[in-house]
Amino acid sequence: MANEESRKEKQEEKKPTPNAVPAVEPALQDKDQDDKDQNDKDQDNDACVIEAVIPKMELVDAEAVPRSGQAPSEATAAAPKAKKPEAKEKADEPELVRAAYEHPLAIRLTHWVNAISLFVMVTSGLRIFRAFPSFGPKIPEKVLLDVPKSLTLGGWLGGALQWHFTFMWFFAASGIFYVLYQIASGHFRTLLFTPRDIPGVWPMARHYFLFGPKPQQTGQYNPLQKLAYTSAIAFGALSLLTGIVLYKPAQFSWLAFLFGGFHLTRIWHFAAMCGFLAFIPGHLIMVALHGWSNFYSMLSGWKREPEYQE
Amino acid sequence: MITRLEDKELKRMSRRQLLKLVPVAALGVFAFPKVSDRLVAAGVRFSDWAAGETFRRQHLAQTYADSQVVPFEKFPYNGYDVLDPEVDLEKWTLTVEGDVQHPGEYMLAQIQALPKISQNTRHVCVEGWDVVGSFGGSRISDFLKLVGANTSARFLEVECVDDYYESIDMESALHPQSLMCYEMYGQPLDRKHGAPLRLQMPTKLGYKQAKYLDTVRITNVLKPGKTGYWEDQGYSWFGGL
Indicate yes or no: CB of A161 within 8 angstroms of CB of B234. Answer: yes
- Domain containing A84 equals 3-96
Q: A89 and A228 in one domain?
A: no
For B201, the closest chain A residue by CA position comes to A250
**Chain B contact set for A156 (CB, 8 A):** 234
Last residue of a domain, one of A53, A74, A96: A96
Q: Does B41 touch chain A (CB under 8 A)?
A: yes
B23 occurs within a structural domain: no
**Chain A contact set for B76 (CB, 8 A):** 138-139
A309 occurs within a structural domain: no
Indicate yes or no: CB of A158 within 8 angstroms of CB of B233. Answer: yes
**Alpha carbon A133 to chain centroid, angstroms:** 34
pLDDT digits (tens, 9 = 90+) for B215-235: 999 999 999 889 999 999 999
Q: For residues A7 and B196, which has the higher predicted lDDT (pLDDT)?
A: B196
- Domain containing B226 equals 31-233
**For the packed helices A157-185 and A49-78, what is the interaxial angle rounded to 10 degrees?**
90
Overall average pLDDT of the B190-206 stretch = 93
B11 occurs within a structural domain: no
B104 occurs within a structural domain: yes
pTM of the model: 0.79
Question: Is the pLDDT at A52 greater than 80, yes or no?
Answer: no
Q: A284 and A203 in one domain?
A: yes
Residue A23 CB neighbour total at 10 angstroms: 12
- CA-to-CA distance for A89 and A49, rounded, in angstroms? 11
Q: What are phi and psi of B221, to 5 degrees?
A: -130, 135
Question: Is the pLDDT at B189 greater than 70, yes or no?
Answer: yes
B91 occurs within a structural domain: yes
Residue A177 CB neighbour total at 10 angstroms: 15
B67 occurs within a structural domain: yes
B239 occurs within a structural domain: no
pLDDT digits (tens, 9 = 90+) for A67-99: 443 444 444 444 444 444 444 445 566 788 888
A285 occurs within a structural domain: yes
pLDDT band for A44, please (50, 70, 90 cuts). Answer: very low
- CA distance from start to end of chain A: 20
Q: Write the residue in A71, A158, A310 that is nearest to B230 by C-beta.
A: A158
Q: A252 and A184 in one domain?
A: yes
Category of A261 on φ-ψ map: left (φ > 0), alpha (ψ -120 to 50) or beta: left
pLDDT band for B25, please (50, 70, 90 cuts). Answer: confident
Indicate yes or no: CB of A251 within 8 angstroms of CB of B55. Answer: yes
- How high is the mean pLDDT of chain A? 74
Question: Is the pLDDT at A33 greater than 60, yes or no?
Answer: no
| Ranges A133-147, B79-93, B173-187, most confident | B173-187
Query: DSSP letter at A164?
Result: H
Indicate yes or no: CB of A169 within 8 angstroms of CB of B46. Answer: yes
pLDDT digits (tens, 9 = 90+) for A251-298: 998 999 999 988 899 999 999 999 999 999 989 988 888 888 888 888
Q: Does B108 touch chain A (CB under 8 A)?
A: no
Q: Does B200 touch chain A (CB under 8 A)?
A: no
- How high is the mean pLDDT of chain B? 92
In this predicted structure, what is the pLDDT of residue A92? 61
Q: A133 and A76 in one domain?
A: no
**For the domain that residue A270 is a member of, what is the CATH number?**
1.20.950.20
A310 occurs within a structural domain: no
Residues 12 through 31 of chain B touching chain A, CB cutoff 8 Å: 13-18, 20-21, 23-24, 27, 30
A19 occurs within a structural domain: yes
Overall average pLDDT of the A161-171 stretch = 95
The amino acid occupying position A248 is K
B63 occurs within a structural domain: yes
In this predicted structure, what is the pLDDT of residue B93? 93
* Contact (Cβ atoms closer than 8 angstroms) between residue B234 and residue B169: no
pLDDT band for A310, please (50, 70, 90 cuts). Answer: low
**Chain B contact set for A162 (CB, 8 A):** 40-41, 43-44, 234
Q: A124 and A30 in one domain?
A: no
- CA-to-CA distance for A219 and B1, rounded, in angstroms? 9
In this predicted structure, what is the pLDDT of residue A46? 37
Q: A175 and A143 in one domain?
A: yes
Category of A154 on φ-ψ map: left (φ > 0), alpha (ψ -120 to 50) or beta: left
Indicate yes or no: CB of A262 within 8 angstroms of CB of B131. Answer: no
Q: A154 and A288 in one domain?
A: yes
| Peptide bond before residue B196 is cis, with ω within 30 degrees of 0 | yes
- CA-to-CA distance for A45 and A23, rounded, in angstroms? 12
B197 occurs within a structural domain: yes
ipTM of the complex: 0.91
**For the domain that residue B109 is a member of, what is the CATH number?**
3.90.420.10
For B21, the closest chain A residue by CA position comes to A109
Give CB contacts under 8 A, 24+ apart, made by B151-155: B153/B98, B153/B99, B153/B218, B153/B219, B153/B220, B154/B219, B154/B220, B155/B218, B155/B219, B155/B220, B155/B221, B155/B222
The domain total for chain A is 2
* Contact (Cβ atoms closer than 8 angstroms) between residue A111 and residue A103: yes
Query: DSSP letter at B133?
Result: E
Among B8, B11, B15, B17, pick the best mutation site for testing chain A contact (most A Cβ within 10 A).
Answer: B17
- CA-to-CA distance for A189 and A194, rounded, in angstroms? 9
Q: A114 and A233 in one domain?
A: yes
Query: Is B171 strand, coil or helix?
Result: helix
Q: Write the residue in B3, B124, B230 that is nearest to A99 by C-beta.
A: B3
Question: Is the pLDDT at A51 greater than 70, yes or no?
Answer: no
The domain total for chain B is 1
**Chain A contact set for B56 (CB, 8 A):** 251
* Contact (Cβ atoms closer than 8 angstroms) between residue A160 and residue A128: yes
Helix (H) / strand (E) containing A254: helix A253-258
Q: A231 and A137 in one domain?
A: yes
Q: A71 and A52 in one domain?
A: yes
Q: A110 and A57 in one domain?
A: no
Last residue of a domain, one of A37, A66, A96: A96
Q: A57 and A195 in one domain?
A: no
Last residue of a domain, one of A44, A67, A96: A96
